[in-house]
Structure 1
Amino acid sequence: MPDSAVRAPQLTRPKVKICGTTSVQDAVLCTQAGADALGFIFAPISKRLVSPDVAREASLSVGLTVARVGVFLGQGLDEVLRLAEASRMSAVQLHGALPAEFVETAAQFYPVLRVVKADELSREGERWAADPRVTLMVDAPNPGGGVPLEWEALRAGWPAGAWLAGGLGPGNVREAVHLLRPSGVDAVSRLEASPGVKNPQAVKAFIDAVQGS
């Protein structure tokens, strides 16, 4: 995948990633609405779990200009790489407590979105600032739970190039972008009709809000 799809200086607007994609139909819907990246969740505990076969079909349906990001939590490195390859992912998103060596090894194969909590931002920002293969994403303590972070509290220590997730939706993403100027934004729960099923109107409104920010 082009590095610009995950790690790039912000020129006009943040990149938009729509996570929790579970069908070809929703992959096409989000892409046509203007998403830059799609997230496919392979963490077994997720109610938005997708099979490698469906993720692969969806990946092939949207083409190479859209980043396809495999989302992982609690899985070994071999499984991460196997699933990413089988489903034609172009990047991986890593959640949870992981040694730096795990992230570094994954980054030899795919661009990495390293998900951190707000209180980890300073430490992890310093750790990965010099590695162009790894991009930080700041998420809420309960990813996918729909609860936003305290954006104002993050302003002073917000690192250049970081992405923002956590409770973002059509009604609040513009404020978050104005406060933090993230390089990318990631949304899932507020864009759904039900877990794993996208609401077309919410997806379009979200992307329009980002593009107008």
Structure 2
Amino acid sequence: MAEVKFCGLTRSVDAAEAVRLGAAFAGVIFAGGPRLLDPTRASEVLSPTVGSGTRRVGVFGAQGVDEVLAIARAAALEVVQLSYGESREHRVGLRAAFDGRVWAVKHVSDVRDVEAAADWYGDGIDAIVLDAAVPGQLGGTGVALDWTAVAPAVARLRRRGRVVLAGGLRPENVATALRTVPADIVDVSSGVESAPGIKDPERMRAFAETVRAHEVQ
């Protein structure tokens, strides 16, 4: 069964719901956009996850390694997710300095982008996040990948390491996505929202239950 990550959280009530639903990961955004938090607010939002087993993820943009580390410490993050995963300096620098997990985002336009990410595991990356490439946007766009087109390349990628599937997922399509592109983790943000950063508990529940009912091959 794939693990669930609820991302773009801006309210502690939504983090508490993520915990109640058994999500493996709860994410907050430091990369800009309408869901942007500062470290103090991020700690408050993620407070329901403490001691729960739901790991705290911070999504970063163009911040340097030292800034990422400072924010990670302040917000007690267990995973840092690099939206500019294409920077090898970023990947290697964070992996050497951060005690938790490091994920790197690959923005995908076509199958060649998936194939190009395979070497990132050699930099010690714990997981590669596959998201749709949208000009000028780092994520949270609601745009889905062409799952059928990238499926064979993703299957090969999973032989190297863990894969997080993001981009346009919602309760109505996550089962189809997982049947087409098996992944280790599914990452949802706008697909369970009533407004940017405001999660709908019924959609969160529907998403988690749909994933739980699907066995990844």
Question: What TM-score do the two structures reach when normalised by structure 1?
Answer: 0.88
| Deviation beyond 3 Å, 4+ runs, structure 1 | 129-133
The 5 A counterparts of 1:60-99 are 60-64=47-51, 65-96=53-84, 98-99=86-87
Find the aligned partners of 2:144 and 2:86 in 1 and give their Cα distance.
24
Residue number in structure 2 paired with 1:48 = 35
C-alpha deviations, 1:113-149, integer Å up to 9, x for none? 1100224221211x12345543111001132111111
Identical columns (%): 34
Report if the CA contact (8 A) 1:21-1:40 is conserved. yes
The 5 A counterparts of 1:72-151 are 72-96=60-84, 98-108=86-96, 109=98, 110-118=100-108, 119-125=112-118, 127-130=119-122, 132-142=124-134, 143-151=139-147
Worse-matched range after superposition: 68-77 or 104-113:
104-113
Q: CA RMSD in A?
A: 1.5
Question: What TM-score do the two structures reach when normalised by structure 2?
Answer: 0.87
C-alpha deviations, 1:11-49, integer Å up to 9, x for none? xx1110000011211110111122110111011x31101
Task: Show structure 2 runs of 5+ residues with no match.
Answer: none
Find the aligned partners of 2:72 and 2:123 in 1 and give their Cα distance.
21
Equivalenced residue count is: 199
Find the aligned partners of 1:99 and 1:184 in 2 and give their Cα distance.
23
Q: Shift of residue 97 of structure 1?
A: 5.8
Residue number in structure 1 paired with 2:16 = 28
Find the aligned partners of 1:97 and 1:129 in 2 and give their Cα distance.
11
Residue number in structure 1 paired with 2:174 = 173
